Structure 1
Amino acid sequence: MVHPYESLPERSFWRTAVAERAAPAITDLWTPAFALDPDEPVLTAGSCFARHLGPALLLEGMNWYEAEPAPPGLTADEREARGYGRFSFRTGNIYTAATLRQWLSWAFEESAPPDEVWEEDGRFHDPYRPALEPGGHATPDAVGDARQRTLAAIRTAVSSAGCLIFTLGLTETWTDTVTGTVHPVCPGTVRGSFDAGRHVFRNATVAEVHRDLTESVALAWRANPALKILLTVSPVPLTATATGGHALVATTYSKSVLRAAAGQLAQELGHVDYFPSYEIITGHPFQGAFYESNRRTVSEDGVAFVMRHFFDALHGRHRPNRPDVPRTARPDTGEEQWCDDAVLDYYSHGPVPPAR
């Protein structure tokens, strides 16, 4: 072997993996670092995109673990409104690595949540999941009791699960300088009151996200050394940015930071892997086809496309190019002559495009 590029598979070259394929026929985007036994409990948590994972796992016949199921007697609408069945933990959305670390730290009693509750119209709400109980609780003690049930569920689930799938969504956070805690959303937006002297905006760096993920994994592994961690990044753009900049630029920053930190951790730690749900939806070969008209919400077809890639890779299923998704004709690559890595296309499988 003269150099490594001579023995690489088709998926490692842009021409054979992307340019010569219709978008639905792009495959082999993920090689799982570990297997998932269908019987082992799988946990899901994270941003809003993560809520699709539990139902998809169940449909595939896998053991999605809902650690805090709804009490009997609730209608489907009531279960949805109160946050049951969305994730394995009844925490509501966990958008950031800092918030995941905070919940795990409370669950495993390395720190304690503040006693603070928010009152609204005589009902009481949890500042750390303000949208979870629309009708609120009757007393402040009921807020604390509900949170303790969730923390107990997290302890039980993490200690016994085979895998945790965590979907990162944001880098923008609001820190409470009085309690030292991180809020899931800016106080005053869903509930509570915003205090400019107390609630401070922070936009995490790669190093900070990496640190929070590392500490989260360490907390989980102390309870369950066999736990596998699968990280993903949500393809859903930011609804708004507190930076004052353009939402598109802020989204690019946030997702780039999350992707870099997740990828770095997966390279550093065994039993940590990264699944490219973000790339599958946002990659330019897919031309934004999996977004609804608001260019933000991932469509049902998009979710199904992501899960197809996930389960095909997980179960070793290979889908050859089908008649409905043929390879495109071999294109003129249009590579600039001064693009140094264009020479690498020579080592891809199949005929080489004519020299320009």
Structure 2
Amino acid sequence: MSNNPYKSKPAKAFWRPAVAERHFADMEELWQPLQLKKEHKVATAGSCFAQHIGNNLARRGANFIDMEPAPPLFDTESEARRWGFGVFSCRYGNIYTTRQLIQLFDEAFGERIPAERVWEKQGRYFDALRPGIEPVGQDTAEAVLMLRERHLAKVREMFATLDLFVFTLGLTEGWELVEDGTMFPMAPGTIAGTFEVEKYCFHNLRHAEIAKDLRGVWERLKAINPDARMLLTVSPVPLTATATDNHVLPATFYSKSVLRGVAGEMADDYEDVTYFPSYEIISTHPYGGMFFNPDKRTVNQFGVNHVMSHFFSGPLAEEFQLRITSVKESEPDLVCDEEELEQALD
């Protein structure tokens, strides 16, 4: 008769000793920290929550890549961030879906030209693929395209030179151009542009599509940067709104569950891909929702600090000199295009 295969498992594999009998602050070994040194070039992209990892890495002395730093004309960091500077490693704004990510990669390396790149609003022109980065837009469509070419050159350089790419998966839902499938970060007509039902369609990406996109990005990245690694997280922030016919609560958990599934498979299948459970730490029931603000959506500073205490554990704690942060310690305000959807309630 064979031995019970669970006999050799450590305590962290069992719910009672690992969760039920522990205070939330005493949970440990929630992930296996990757090896990262201060000299490694780290780039971030993704949904709003990705900004927390970038901010905290930079604060602790990591070599955080900022390919498009703010020009000196801004008086404050907050003002510069409002224009998309210092938010992510390049000025691409929120990349909520894997479809946006792979299309950006292909465009940066000359493999794709979106059929629609400029939106207009009240006589001003905006980059349709990153409409939230310039609050007042440009004078001409040509100016938008010129700035986009400069941006793509920086994106190309970022992917070619980074050591670690941190990507936070945020949404499965997106709006795309019927003509060629270009997916936008926001629906036309929310920040800029005009929604036309025959021109744009809603697309709720499925597991197989997301997996194909993310694997495609990974294969492309390794082809031009063989030593690159990737760290995946899933944003714990619920949807602001859903374009499905479902209630926003189950729509949120559909999105997050699918994204979590893909991220886990990527980490299992590729040696150089790691998953960090920020979603589980913030969202699951052992924490009782204590990490959310009264809106039950945005994550409070206490929650952010708790997530970072797990992130900077093991070898990362030693390398980046982890210190206990105060709940009063604040970070720059997050830049989140999705919050524009709240205007639809007015």
Same fold at TM > 0.5: yes
Pairwise mapping of residues 232-251 of structure 1 onto structure 2 (< 5 A)? 232-251=233-252
Residue 266 of structure 2 is matched in structure 1 by 265
Q: Name whichever of 229-238 and 50-59 sits farther off.
A: 50-59
Task: Give CA deviations for 1:183-238 in whole Å, capped at 9, x if unaligned.
Answer: 11111112111111111111111111100101111121121011000110000000
Whether 2:19 is the aligned partner of 1:18: answer yes
Match of 2:183?
Answer: 182
Structure 1 runs of 4+ off > 4 angstroms?
none
Report whether the alignment pairs 1:284 with 2:285: yes
Which protein is bigger by CA-based radius of gyration? 1
Question: Once the 2 structures are TM-superposed, how far is the Cα of residue 316 of structure 1 from its aligned partner?
Answer: 6.0
Query: What does residue 158 of structure 2 align with?
Result: 157
Contact 1:266 1:274 in 2 (8 A): yes
Partner of 2:321: none
CA gap 1:279/1:91 in 2 versus in 1, 3 angstroms: same
Alignment correspondent of 1:228: 229
Q: For 2:175, what is the secondary structure of its paired residue?
A: strand
Q: How far does residue 70 in structure 1 lie from its aligned partner after superposition?
A: 0.9
Contact 2:116 2:128 in 1 (8 A): no
Equivalent position of 2:57 in the other structure: 57
For 1:224, the aligned partner's letter is N
With 238-247 and 4-13 compared, the bigger mean Cα shift is at 4-13
Tell me the distance in 2 between the aligned counterparts of 1:274 and 1:63: 20
Structure 1 residue 171: Cα displacement? 0.2
What displacement does 1:86 show? 0.7
1:102 alignment partner in structure 2? 103
Partner of 2:144: 143
For 1:230-258, what per-residue CA distance to the aligned partner results, in whole angstroms no more than 9, with x for missing partners?
11000000011110211100001000000
Is the contact between residue 115 and residue 179 of structure 2 (CA under 8 Å) also seen in structure 1?
no
Q: d(CA) in 2 for partners of 1:257 and 1:195? A: 29
Q: What residue in structure 2 maps to residue 195 of structure 1?
A: 196
SS of the aligned residue for 1:118 comes to strand
1:44 Cα deviation after fit: 0.7
1:162 & 1:225 partners in 2: Cα distance?
10
| Superposed CA RMSD | 1.4
Partner Cα distance (1:89, 1:43) in 2: 8
Question: For 2:170 and 2:193, how far apart are their aligned partners in 1?
Answer: 23
Q: In 2, Cα distance between the equivalents of 1:263 and 1:286?
A: 21
1:116 and 1:62 mapped to 2: Cα distance? 34
Deviations 1:8-28 (A, max 9, x none): 111111011001101111111
The answer (yes or no) to whether the contact 2:232–2:274 under 8 Å persists in 1 is yes
The 2-side partners of 1:39 and 1:289 are apart by 35
Kept in 2: contact 1:108–1:219 (CA 8 A): no
Give the corresponding residue for 1:70. Answer: 70
Corresponding position of 1:335: none
Is contact 1:30-1:313 (8 Å) kept?
A: no
- Whichever residue aligns with residue 106 of structure 2, its letter is S
Sequence identity (%): 46
State the SS of the aligned residue for 1:258: helix
Q: 2:117·2:129 contact (CA, 8 Å) conserved in 1?
A: no
Checking the alignment, whether the CA contact within 8 Å between 2:172 and 2:206 is kept in structure 1 is yes
Q: TM-score, normalised by structure 1?
A: 0.86
Q: Is the 8 A contact 2:236 2:282 kept in 1?
A: yes
Matches of 1:3 and 1:116, distance apart in 2: 59
Residue deviations 1:34-54 (CA, integer Å, cap 9, x gap): 411111110010001111122
Give a deviation string over 1:115-139, Cα, whole Å, max 9, x none.
Answer: 6422223221111111110111122
For 1:313 and 1:202, the matched residues in 2 are separated by 40
TM-score, length of structure 2 as denominator length: 0.88
Where in structure 2 are the equivalents of 1:124-139 lying within 5 Å? 124-139=125-140
Q: In the superposition, relative to structure 1, how do residues 36 and 79 fare at CA in structure 2: closer, same or farther (>3 Å)?
A: same
